[in-house]
Amino acid sequence: MSRGGKAHNWYYDELKQVGVDYTDKIMVEEYDSDMQNLRDIKKELEEISTSISLKADQVIIEIGTGTGEFGIEASKYCKKVIAVDVSKAMLDFAHEKAKMRKRSNIEFVHGGFLTYTHQGELADVVITQLALHHLPDFWKMVALKRISKMLKDGGRLYIRDVVFPSGVEDYDGFFNKIINRLEIEVGAKIAEETKIHIKEEYSTFDWIMESLLTKAGFTLDEIKYYNEFLATYVCTKKKSS
């Protein structure tokens, strides 16, 4: 299903892939199998469920759902998941997976941070993992303000993303060390994708992320920086005045 809003012609084109191409079917299959191998999805779900206090009566929007692993599992513990992604190939893959796992309370919507238009009951939670960095900083702010409008007052926003630390003296050394370590620990493909990420995608600094979230109307409840350049933010939407 498509539910993209009408954008102005000066709007950022979020359907155009930046960095790693997630519109390619083979790439999508490989992404899913890499993530199954590299990530502890069950542990992620447990951590996120605790952070956002996941409940049976909640509506969750997941933006940048990818191959749907989180949304599909989360749908077992809430009323409804709306899984949004700009890549049709990702959505088709995730949809098939949901059918195989017999999940019916998950809706797949073709759209993104800047184009998904939420309809119906406001959401209790918006979650996005490893996706917001696809937008340049100005558009991250636009996205966060749009997310705020999708949420109930007091609704929660959970973000996991690649975020760069601001306190590094030598970024060449910092990134070379990460790339070399990834090459040894998880192989050349992930190391290569990390290079593309640094070079072409829009991960930003920790202090910029914190400031964007605050200025977009969120209270920062929990912030975690780990594994050199990963971050999680658990936020609450401030009450509208």
What is the contact surface with ligand SAM in residues (CB under 6 A)? 14, 22, 35, 63-66, 85-87, 90, 112-113, 129-131, 134-135
228, burial (CB in 10 Å: exposed 0-12, middle 13-18, buried 19+): middle
Nearest approach, Cβ of 167 to ligand SAM (angstroms)?
25
CB 187 within 8 A of CB 37: no
Nearest approach, Cβ of 22 to ligand SAM (angstroms)?
4
Nearest approach, Cβ of 129 to ligand SAM (angstroms)?
4
Ranges assigned E (strand) in the chain: 59-63, 80-85, 106-110, 123-129, 151-162, 218-226, 230-237
Bridge partners for 143 per DSSP:
none
Distance between CA 221 and CA 53 in Å, rounded? 13
Q: Which residue, 42 or 239, has its beta carbon nearer to ligand SAM?
A: 42
Nearest approach, Cβ of 121 to ligand SAM (angstroms)?
21
**Which residue is nearest to ligand SAM, using beta carbons?**
66
Q: Which residue, 94 or 213, has its beta carbon nearer to ligand SAM?
A: 94
Q: Which residue, 89 or 235, has its beta carbon nearer to ligand SAM?
A: 89
CA 126 to chain centre: 9
* Token representation of residue 117: 């238009």
Q: Which residue, 58 or 129, has its beta carbon nearer to ligand SAM?
A: 129
Nearest approach, Cβ of 151 to ligand SAM (angstroms)?
17
Q: Which residue, 225 or 238, has its beta carbon nearer to ligand SAM?
A: 225
CB 79 within 8 A of CB 104: no
- Residue 171: count of CB within 10 angstroms of its CB: 11
